[in-house]
Structure 1
Amino acid sequence: MSEASTSLIRRLRSRAMGLAVAGTALVLAASIPATAVAGQTRAASADPVSVMTYTAKERQKALAYWTPTRRKAVGKSVDLGPTGPKAKPWQGTAMKTVGRLFFVNANGADTWCTATAVKSANRSAVMTAAHCVRRGSSPDNTNILMVFVPGYSKGEMPYGAFAVRTAVTPRSWENDSADDLSTLVVDTDKSGRKLTDVVDGQDIAFNRPVGGTVSAFGYSATRPQLGEELLRCVGTAKKKRGLQAIPCDMSGGSSGGPWLADFNATTGKGVLVSVNSSLDSLTPTEMQGEVLGATAKKVYERAAQQG
């Protein structure tokens, strides 16, 4: 298959089965008219990595915006059908590193994804999907008021909330809906503590061969959880059209959730090898994620350089 054909398949896949939620509908990865977002800066177009920053004022507004009432309301605003049977509520040790990522999307709708604290030099890095940050193939359609809540469960924020300061995505996602992954950098908490000093971080692997047992986590907008509880799928990863796939039927809201290899259920730790990206349009019980290669490493390393 030619590179152009593969690119087209990936764009169509993403448009058909995007996983972020908004209001009462799935957010599809098709282009929409551009809207400017104040207070964000972008790197030169020749750079393979795109960087957006949020001002101190915007970050303060984000923390104030996501009140308990608003967080509760966004979960009730969408119902994507019954949970399972492959996705099961996680009932093991507290997954401190995995949390709900709340934001307002380019359409002005309150919504959420899933994200994960990972080990990094700045102790402030979070992995998620690129479509949780911006619309693919539409550079100016970006999300705002982004807040990461690690360990979120049934309205509780046991480790506080962290405003997103910087969002790093591949330029290939911005321009061509390819490489659906992102690394965020978050502020310290109210006490001035850095994220992974509070919740620790998952290891992350690049260029790891696809295969083996993977645990995927996410805050799916399926009932009865409706994003309020963490769900888990377990399966063997396999290569598929340049991506990797596992058996999983989590839906909108689970986007960006981690794929953890070598997962230890007692410690809640593993090695992040991908994030939830999309359900295959032909096999809606199969989750797909990127293979973390050179592009993903560049995104991660750029974010880790942010102070």
Structure 2
Amino acid sequence: MSPHPFRGAHRTASSLATALLALAGSLAASAGSATAATGTGQVSTVVYTAAEQAAALSYWTPARMKQVSRAVDLGPTGPLSKPWTGKGIPSIGRLFFVNSKGQDTWCTGSAVTSDNHSVIMTAAHCARLGSSPANTYSDIVFVPGYTKGSTPYGRYAVKATRTPRSWVEETVNDIAAMVVATPAYGTRLTDAVGAQAIAFGRPAGERVTAFGYPATTPQRGEQLLYCAGASQRAPEGEQRVPCDLGGGASGGPWLAGFDSATGKGTVVSVNSHGERDGSSPMYGPTLDKTAQAVYDAARRG
């Protein structure tokens, strides 16, 4: 969930698109345009030029990151969501962007293993509006290990997004893979922050830890929060887990086999949506063959 009102588990594509468009309290900004939105087969791709990547990094200053946090308040945190106080997890970070309405907002993402050492996984609604091929987002920047304004591992501009064509056309399969550019100082993302493993086709029923940067009070996106519990199968190709992470946690990983000592686990889903009142459970997509096609397209790019 980027910072917007929650929706219920059962929905149509049109109602979902409306819900995701209704961002709560975001700041107006001037949205740029992606170079190209193309796709073949199951995967749709948006590519950002080097100039657009540089503009995104210039746009998301520390002051602007703080400003967007102060602009959104989705009510009190919890009771299931807890601040993460264990070892830092640099592979999880905050994903800032400008949406199709020209508003500043954010989601959550995680760096995963990949051939190019440069892939993050997140939710498709953090990359583009569903059921609306022209409405892609701009100025997308991933900040691994973000904590209370600190950017200890730098900022990574997104150079390409990969989403299911089913999301673009029907608002189905809320999963995205993004490829980040290597910064001027030359360290690829996962060489700098490490990577979570990722698995496809895992059935519901295992214990997962879900992470995110929700816009709930008092953290307001400035601190990593988590929930933990056993996942269950849900309708429409989804899974659910007991969790009340608020808007802004969208795209945060569900880590199976999470080890708090190492900060590592295996991504088996991502936060997609909760109930309209912000209560438990949290829903996430099953990482099926479509999700694997999205990931495969990104890891080779």
Using the size of structure 2 for normalisation, the TM-score is 0.91
Shift, 1:23, TM fit: 5.3
2:13 corresponding residue in structure 1: 11
CA distance in 1, matches of 2:151, 2:10: 40
Deviation at 1:9, TM superposition (A): 3.3
SS in 2 for 1:99: strand
- What does 1:144-223 align with in structure 2 at a 5 Å threshold? 144-223=138-217
1:300 aligns with one of 274, 283, 295: 295
Q: CA deviation at 1:209?
A: 1.6
- After superposition, the C-alpha distances for 1:110-168 in whole angstroms (9 at most, x for unaligned) are 10000000000000000000000000101111110000000000000000000000000
Amino acid at match of 1:199: V
Q: Is the 8 A contact 1:216 1:233 kept in 2?
A: yes
Say yes or no: does 1:118 pair with 2:112: yes
Unaligned runs of 5+ in 2: 1-8
1:157 aligned partner, one-letter code: T
When residues 244 and 61 of structure 1 are mapped into structure 2, their CA distance, relative to the original with a 3 A threshold, is same
Q: CA deviation digits over 1:78-101, x for unaligned, max 9?
A: 100000000000000101100000
Are 2:229 and 1:228 equivalent residues in the alignment? Answer: no
Answering whether residue 84 of structure 2 is matched by residue 83 of structure 1, we say no
How is 1:69-148 mapped onto 2 (pairs within 5 angstroms)? 69-148=63-142
274-283 or 109-118: which moved more? 274-283
Contact 1:21 1:113 in 2 (8 A): no
Deviation of 1:68 (Å) = 1.1
Partner-residue secondary structure (3-state), 1:43: strand
Could you tell me which amino acid in structure 1 is paired with residue 147 of structure 2?
S
1:280 matched residue in structure 2: 275
Tell me the residue number matched to 2:265.
270
In structure 2, what residue type is equivalent to 1:104?
Answer: V
Query: Does the CA-based 8 Å contact 2:200-2:292 persist in structure 1?
Result: yes
Q: Kindly indicate whether the alpha-carbon contact (under 8 Å) linking 2:159 and 2:180 is maintained by their aligned counterparts in 1.
A: yes
Seen in structure 2, the aligned counterparts of structure 1 residues 10 and 279 have a Cα distance that, compared at 3 Å, is: farther
Question: For the Cα contact (< 8 Å) 1:185–1:303, is it kept in 2?
Answer: yes
- 8 Å CA contact 2:97, 2:105 repeated in 1: yes
Counterpart of 1:109, as a letter, is Q
Calculate the TM-score normalised by the size of structure 1: 0.89
State the Cα deviation string for residues 196-231 of structure 1 (Å, max 9, x = none).
000010000001121111100000000000000000
User: Does structure 1 residue 244 correspond to structure 2 residue 239?
Assistant: yes
SS at match of 2:36: coil
Unaligned runs of 5+ in 1: 1-6, 26-35
In structure 2, relative to structure 1, the CA distance for the partners of 1:96 and 1:10 (3 Å cut) is farther
1:95–1:251 distance in 2 versus 1, CA, 3 Å? same
- AA in 1 matched with 2:16: S
Displacement of 1:37 in angstroms is 6.0
Identity among equivalent pairs (%): 49
Q: Deviations over 1:260-289 (max 9, x none)?
A: 000001100000000000013588311000
What corresponds to 1:41 in structure 2? 36
Deviation at 1:297, TM superposition (A): 0.3
Distance in 2, Cα, partners of 1:87 & 1:60: 35
**Residue identity opposite 2:219 in structure 1:** Q
Q: 2:250 aligns with which of 255, 259, 283?
A: 255
